[in-house]
């Protein structure tokens, strides 16, 4: 019903033309001719490089409108996605990429309208021009290139006591531009141990395409690889990631690096003459210098009165140098010198080197109490790889840190017991195996010199316990396997001290 008092006469008090000013039930109609717009549209991904995406990455689309939006339809790569309203004017949608998506620029489409039904112009681009590139193709397969030891005495496929770094070469495909701003990592493994990363991620730049990219790995990193020990073999591989995060594990390098840091010991170096009196010589007599090494060595050159002669290996580890005395040779005690005697792995018999202005001495020390050390001495203490023998106790071969056994090493006691595995502050630590001199064996975890964690104890009798250990004692649940094959699930309440 219309309120008659609200009728206004335009031609007279009761004229035929009137305007309705309001209704008595409060209803009204508003004319809205304004077309809604999206004033801000942003695209981002959870990828490390937010303008790129790979399989499993999430794209988030955020939008703000000029007015309240009622109806929305959002397509990403042609697929309808759900949205969430933050306010009447703001909303977002997300999409997780999968293998069905095509590589290239990600397409999207936003259709929308306001409460009056006015449809906005369909939006297909971000307001800041940002685009997302989807890439699901990993880098091409490749073989990790040559691995070369560096510093000191360089011997192919060897890591010796004088080396300071390894150089790892990795081929970068020339035609794959997605590798630009990608990353390269170097991984290593010794024996059957797990692969571990030994380099930080190295950025790949455009100049690297079509070349071998070289990465240098320092000595301290190499000698910290799990399982590092004398006689071990180091496998090296590279991993390449493109800018979207797709990666390819390279085939390990054909170069397997053998670890040999044992210095050759030269003994029984003698000189004698063919004269009837071996300590005397005259012109025409032959002078013979003879020495013995405890392992295979490289050929050494001796100089006698200015004449150079290469030592010859005629029998076993015995080497010989000969010189015929001439008129021009001066009278007196016969003097000679020689080049450093180096084993086939590059370890010198009496080595000293300097790195970063710190003296690193690879040497042998004999103490007054009969103990003996051969290895790396720096910063005024034992640091690095070395051998230590305690008179009447045993020998240790492995890694040291500030004079304490640390890292991987083997201790052999004079009573026949042996431990192989991890150390920390002179104590068994981490994974290790202890061979008792009575034939028992423990394989498992250690902490502060005691069995701690998971471990397997095998008695000489053939019985086996596999379970938990705390402070060197069996604890909690475990399985006891008898030598006849019977198995018992047990729970250890206490064990005698």
Residue 32 pLDDT class (50, 70, 90 cuts): confident
Residues 133/242, Cβ–Cβ less than 8 Å: no
For residue 97, the model assigns a pLDDT of: 95
pLDDT digits (tens, 9 = 90+) for 296-339: 999 999 998 889 999 999 888 899 999 999 998 888 888 888 88
Residue from 404, 403, 399 nearest 421 by CA? 399
For residue 11, the model assigns a pLDDT of: 47
Higher-scoring residue by pLDDT: 152, 98: 98
pLDDT digits (tens, 9 = 90+) for 47-60: 988 899 999 999 99
Above 90 in pLDDT, residue 497? no
Residue 476 pLDDT class (50, 70, 90 cuts): confident
Q: What would the mean pLDDT of 244-257 be, rounded to a whole number?
A: 95
For residue 369, the model assigns a pLDDT of: 80
Residue 364 pLDDT class (50, 70, 90 cuts): low
| 297 contacts: CB under 8 Å, gap ≥ 6 | 264, 317, 319, 341, 342, 343, 344
Instruction: Of 9-13, 243-247, 326-330, 484-488, give the lowest mean pLDDT range.
Output: 9-13
Above 90 in pLDDT, residue 350? no
Residue 263 pLDDT class (50, 70, 90 cuts): confident
Above 80 in pLDDT, residue 91? yes
Higher-scoring residue by pLDDT: 10, 406: 406
For residue 288, the model assigns a pLDDT of: 92
Q: How far is 427 from 147, CA to CA, in rounded Å?
A: 34
Residue 19 pLDDT class (50, 70, 90 cuts): low
This prediction's pTM: 0.62
pLDDT digits (tens, 9 = 90+) for 188-235: 999 999 999 999 899 999 999 999 999 999 887 888 888 888 899 999
Contacts of range 351-360, beta carbons closer than 8 Å, 24 or more positions apart: 351/161, 351/162, 351/263, 353/151, 353/152, 353/162, 355/151, 355/164, 355/219, 360/384
For residue 337, the model assigns a pLDDT of: 85
Residue from 431, 410, 427 nearest 419 by CA? 410
């Amino acid at each position: 019903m219309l309120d008659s008092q609200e009728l206004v006469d335009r031609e007279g008090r009761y004229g035929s033309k009137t305007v309705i000013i309001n209704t008595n039930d409060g209803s009204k109609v508003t004319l809205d001719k304004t077309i809604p717009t999206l004033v801000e549209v942003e695209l981002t991904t959870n990828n490390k490089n937010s303008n790129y995406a790979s399989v499993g990455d999430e794209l988030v689309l955020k939008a703000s409108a000029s007015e309240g939006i009622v109806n929305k339809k959002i397509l990403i790569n042609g697929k309808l996605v759900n949205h969430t309203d933050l306010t009447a004017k703001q909303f977002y949608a997300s999409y997780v990429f999968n293998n069905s998506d095509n590589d290239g620029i990600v397409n999207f489409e936003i259709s929308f309208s306001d409460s009056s039904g006015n449809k906005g112009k369909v939006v297909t681009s971000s307001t800041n021009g940002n685009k997302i590139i989807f890439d699901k193709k990993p880098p091409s397969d490749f073989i990790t290139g040559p691995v070369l030891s560096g510093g000191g005495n360089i011997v192919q496929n060897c890591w010796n006591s004088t080396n300071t770094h390894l150089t790892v070469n990795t081929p970068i495909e020339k035609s794959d531009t997605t590798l630009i701003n990608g990353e390269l990592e170097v991984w290593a493994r010794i024996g059957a141990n797990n692969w571990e990363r030994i380099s930080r991620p190295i950025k790949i730049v455009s100049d690297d395409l079509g070349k071998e990219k070289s990465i240098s790995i320092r000595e301290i990193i190499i000698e910290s690889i799990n399982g590092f020990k004398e006689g071990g073999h180091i496998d090296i591989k590279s991993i390449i990631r493109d800018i979207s995060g797709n990666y390819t594990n390279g085939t390990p390098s054909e170069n397997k690096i053998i670890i040999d840091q044992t210095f050759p010991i030269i003994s029984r170096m003698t000189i004698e003459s063919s004269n009837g009196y071996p300590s005397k010589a005259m012109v025409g007599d032959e002078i013979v210098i003879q020495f013995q090494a405890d392992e295979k060595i490289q050929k050494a050159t001796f100089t006698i009165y200015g004449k150079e002669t290469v030592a010859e290996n005629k029998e076993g580890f015995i080497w010989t140098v000969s010189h015929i005395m001439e008129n021009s040779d001066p009278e007196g005690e016969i003097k000679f010198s020689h080049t450093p005697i180096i084993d086939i792995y590059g370890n010198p018999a009496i080595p000293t080197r300097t790195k970063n202005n710190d003296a690193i001495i690879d040497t042998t020390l004999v103490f007054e109490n009969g103990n003996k050390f051969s290895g790396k001495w720096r910063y005024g203490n034992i640091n690095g790889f070395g051998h230590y023998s305690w008179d009447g106790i045993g020998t240790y071969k492995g890694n040291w840190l500030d004079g304490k056994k640390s890292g991987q090493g083997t201790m052999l006691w004079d009573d026949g017991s042996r431990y192989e595995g991890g150390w920390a502050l002179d104590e068994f630590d981490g994974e290790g195996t202890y061979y008792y001199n009575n034939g028992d064996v423990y394989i498992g975890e250690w902490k502060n010199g005691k069995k701690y964690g998971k471990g397997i104890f095998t008695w000489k009798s053939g019985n086996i316990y596999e379970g938990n250990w705390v402070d060197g004692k069996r604890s909690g649940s475990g399985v006891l396997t008898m030598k006849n094959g019977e198995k018992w699930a047990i729970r250890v309440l206490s064990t005698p001290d």
